[in-house]
Every structure is written in C-alpha cells, then in structure tokens.
Amino acid sequence: MTREQLSSLRMVTSAGAPLAPDLIRVVCDRLKVPVRQGFGLTESTGVSHVQRWNRWDQEMGSSGPPLPQVEVKFIDEQANPVREGEGELCLRGPTIFQGFHNNVEATVRSTTLDEWFKTGDIGFQDEGFQVSPAEIESVLHEHPLVHDVAVIGVAVQKIVSEIPVAYVVLKKTRKATEQVAEELVAYISEKLAPHKGGIIPIDKIPRSVFGKILKRVLRTRAEGVGYWCYNL
C-alpha cells in the first residue's frame, strides 16, 4: 500500500487486544497519524472506552476514559469497590446491555446486586475520576429549590484533571445565598459517590434554538469564576 493510498487517513483506532507502546510508535511513524486504543464488549454496545484523539500519545498503555454516560467501577472478589489497585471492571449506563436473552442464570452471574455489569476483565484506574454530568443534573433537578441545572467539566491544573461544576438556576422563591448552597451541597453529597466539584448560581442556562445546553459557553464563563466547592 502506497503513501498516496493513505493520504486521506487521519487517525487509527485499535481494539480487541492491548497495543504495546513500542508497536504504537512504529505504526504512528509509518502512517504519520495518531493511533489510539479503545476497549469494549458486545454487552457494552461495542465500545465503552476510547483514548482522546488529542491525548492519545499521553494515554499510551491505557484504554482511555469511558464514553459519556458510561459509569465505571472496580470490585474485588467479594464485590466490594476497589479504590486503588486492580479489580474487576464493572460498567453501568444507557449503552450497557440489560441481560442475556432467555438466560436468566447468565444474567445473574454477570450482574452485581446493584445492577452493574461485571465484564470479567481486570484493570485499574490510572488517573482522574469517573463522574456522569447527567447523573449530577438528574439529582439536582429533584431538589425542590432547583429550577434548572447544567453540569460541565472544569479543568483544574493542580490535579491535572477536570472536576464537575453545576450551573444552577434557583426557583424565583429563593435567592442564591451561602445557606442555599450548603443545602444543595448536603443534598447532593448524600446521593452521589465522593468527588470534588462546585456550584455556580446563574440566572438562565444558555441553550441553542434546539434546546441543547451550550456547554462551551458555560465552560468559558467558568474560567476565573469562583464557586461553592463541595465534596460529593
């Protein structure tokens, strides 16, 4: 295959088996395009993780972060969460299968009591943390003081990662005060796993003409803006 036949190639994604960093570098040098790794199973609709196109060279040896709305945890042999070190990879989310057709026994074997899918693969989390913006938004929407909410990831240089920050529109009956923030913090801390994040009061969530949240606008506004911090 000649170089001209590959002139339209922009990226290569590999899955099915791990790629050694040395092999990635060789292929990248030959093709002159990024080579990223992905991971997934039939039960996860094909893909659950993939390296970011603009960070593939920094994530060599990793399967990359999970896809949006895919939650991840690792468990030990007793199904207890593993905070550090290796454990069995478990997945949950709208793209994860609900069970095996006409095989209840196999479904029970592959699912935890709290309905996480046990992949059977051993892995560990190499950086950052997993948090679903949709999950945080759903919890905050249930609070009686919240009229509207949008959650975005905000980069934090200190931890070289992102934290979830919630833009919250309060109902007209309440003003944005420290007391209200503390109430929201206490509410959300009871319902979600332990992560750091923040809350920013806002009058209106920016949306497109189709009703989609303009998270790019919110992310720009979040730069340099103070927010109430919380430990979820």
pLDDT tens readout for residues 196-220:
567 888 889 998 888 888 877 887 7
Question: What is the rounded average pLDDT for all residues in the chain?
Answer: 81
pLDDT for 195: 57
Point out the least confidently predicted range of 29-33, 52-56, 144-148, 220-224.
Answer: 220-224
Dihedral (CA of 125, 58, 71, 184) sign: positive
pLDDT value at 20 more than 60: yes
Residues 6+ apart with CB under 8 A from 185: 199, 228, 230
pTM: 0.55
Q: Which strands sit side by side in the sheet containing 71-75, from one edge to the other?
A: 71-75, 87-92, 117-123
Written in H, E and C, the secondary structure of 140-176 is HHCCCCEEEEEEEEEEEHHHCEEEEEEEEEECCCCCC
Token readout for 146 is 């919240």
Cα separation, 98 vs 206, in Å, equals: 35
Instruction: Answer whether residue 102 shows pLDDT above 90.
Output: yes
